[in-house]
């Protein structure tokens, strides 16, 4: 599915509206056949077209592994990953990942970092320069095209990473905890900025996080994942209007109820990691269930 857009030069081009990514009965194990270690266990979910889907689960549950499988950096032990109904087995420009760690080359300017990938794929000339300026402008770094990464703040580096992905116009953008490590104020600003960026494009996004407030603010759909090994626990539709502002979501009764529902599941999964079958852990799980059924005091 494509739509027409106008570039900075005034020319028309076709642009992907976004693809639908499906994980179908996927498992991933490491180790040997005799001593396998299962990280992802019979997991199935869909990242819907033109939606911002957020995946949230306990730390160490296998979310980064599922990212590598979605991008075809690794292959599943069983099951399949499909893009628009077709099985995918190799990395391509239709599925791009923004990782936690910065991938900006320190010896390159913002502009040079943004055009590096397309140049490596053979793109060149005025059309590439125009696309780069457009991507940089969309993330608000127009005045920092000649700046090096060490001259940019943490939030600006994250925006440069987004520009690197945007220039390739992927069918699906996968973001693996991209704002982790930022200070609270910068993180809040980046969440608002990213939400606006998504709302202006409506491409397909999968955003990975362990932050429930971030998840509720950003998501159209929330995928709540289990403790290790990873599987889907529940899908929650986040029925909040767009465009969104953090201050409105924080004070929303609907958002708070969604948060309580999600937290009850997440706490149950997190507590399982303390001790499987341990009576004290089982007692904590039951206490949390009762607490969240009752709601806040």
Higher pLDDT, 110 or 268: 110
SS3 percent helix, strand, coil of the chain, rounded to 5, is 40, 25, 35
The residue count for the chain: 297
- Comparing CA positions, the residue from 83, 39, 115 lying closest to residue 204 is 83
Task: Give whole-number Cα distances, 119 to 111, 134, 150, 164, 169, in Å.
Answer: 12, 16, 23, 12, 15
Tokens standing for 161? 């990473």
User: Considering only CA atoms, which of 242, 230, 153 is closest in space to residue 194?
Assistant: 242
pLDDT digits (tens, 9 = 90+) for 17-34: 569 999 999 999 998 878
Residue 210 pLDDT > 80, yes or no?
yes
CA 238/CA 235 separation, integer angstroms: 10
* pLDDT, mean of residues 193-222: 91
Whether 222 and 257 have beta carbons less than 8 Å apart is answered as no
pLDDT above 90: percentage of residues in the chain = 45
- Give strand pairing partners of 206: 53, 174
pLDDT at 279: 53
Q: Is the pLDDT of residue 144 over 90?
A: yes
Q: Is the pLDDT of residue 110 over 70?
A: yes
Q: Is the pTM of this model over 0.85?
A: no
Q: Compute the distance between CA of residue 205 and CA of residue 172 in angstroms, rounded to an integer.
A: 6
Residue 9 has pLDDT above 70, yes or no: no
CA 107 from centroid of its chain's CA atoms:
27
pLDDT at 126: 84
State the average pLDDT for the chain. Answer: 84
What local confidence, expressed as pLDDT, does residue 11 receive?
A: 40
pLDDT in tens, 275-287: 555 555 556 556 6
pLDDT at 176: 93
Give the sign of the dihedral formed by CA 151, CA 155, CA 159, CA 162. Answer: positive
β-partners of residue 53 are 206, 221
Give tens-digit pLDDT for 163-190.
888 888 889 999 999 888 888 888 888 8
CATH H-level, domain 2-94+170-247: superfamily: P-loop containing nucleotide triphosphate hydrolases (3.40.50.300)
For residue 204, count CB atoms less than 10 angstroms from its CB and return exposed for 0-12, middle for 13-18, buried for 19 or more. buried
Q: Give the pLDDT band of residue 100 (cuts 50, 70, 90).
A: confident
Select the more confidently predicted residue: 99 or 208: 208
The Cα 209–Cα 63 span in angstroms is 9
What sign has the CA pseudo-torsion 99, 100, 106, 109? Answer: positive
Report whether the peptide linkage leading into residue 4 is cis, meaning its omega lies within 30 degrees of zero: no
CA distances from 30 to 76, 229, 268 (A): 10, 12, 26
Q: What is the DSSP string of 254-282?
A: HHHHHHHHHHHHHHHHHHHTT-TT-HHHH
Spell out the domain ranges in the chain.
2-94+170-247
Q: What is the pLDDT of residue 138?
A: 85
Per-residue pLDDT, averaged over 68-87, amounts to 94
Question: In this predicted model, what pLDDT tens digit does every residue of 231-263 receive, in sequence order?
Answer: 999 999 999 999 988 888 988 999 999 999 999
């Amino acid at each position: 599915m494509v739509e027409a857009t106008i570039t900075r030069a005034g020319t028309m081009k076709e642009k992907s509206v976004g693809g639908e990514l499906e994980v179908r009965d996927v498992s991933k194990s490491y180790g040997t056949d005799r001593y396998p270690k299962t990280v992802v266990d019979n997991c199935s979910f869909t990242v819907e077209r033109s939606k911002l889907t957020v995946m949230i689960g306990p730390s160490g549950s296998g979310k980064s592994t599922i990212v590598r499988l979605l991008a075809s950096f690794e292959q599943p032990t069983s099951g399949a990953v499909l893009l628009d109904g077709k099985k995918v087995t190799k990395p391509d420009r239709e599925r791009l990942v923004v990782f936690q760690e910065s991938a900006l080359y320190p010896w390159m300017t913002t502009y040079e970092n943004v055009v590096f990938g397309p140049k490596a794929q053979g793109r060149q000339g005025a059309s590439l320069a125009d696309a780069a300026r457009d991507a940089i402008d969309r993330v608000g770094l127009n005045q920092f095209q000649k700046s090096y990464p060490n001259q940019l703040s943490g939030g600006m580096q994250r925006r440069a990473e987004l520009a690197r992905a945007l220039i390739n116009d992927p069918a699906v953008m996968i973001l693996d905890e991209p704002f982790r490590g930022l200070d609270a104020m910068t993180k809040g600003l980046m969440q608002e900025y990213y939400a606006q960026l998504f709302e202006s494009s409506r491409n397909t996004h999968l955003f990975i996080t362990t932050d429930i407030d971030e998840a509720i603010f950003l998501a159209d759909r929330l995928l709540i994942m289990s403790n290790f090994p990873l599987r889907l626990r529940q899908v929650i539709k986040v029925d909040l209007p767009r465009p969104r502002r953090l201050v409105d979501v924080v004070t929303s009764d609907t958002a708070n109820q969604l948060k309580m529902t999600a937290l009850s599941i997440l706490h149950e999964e997190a507590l399982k990691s303390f001790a499987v079958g341990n009576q004290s852990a089982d007692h904590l799980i039951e206490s949390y269930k009762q607490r969240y059924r009752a709601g806040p005091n």
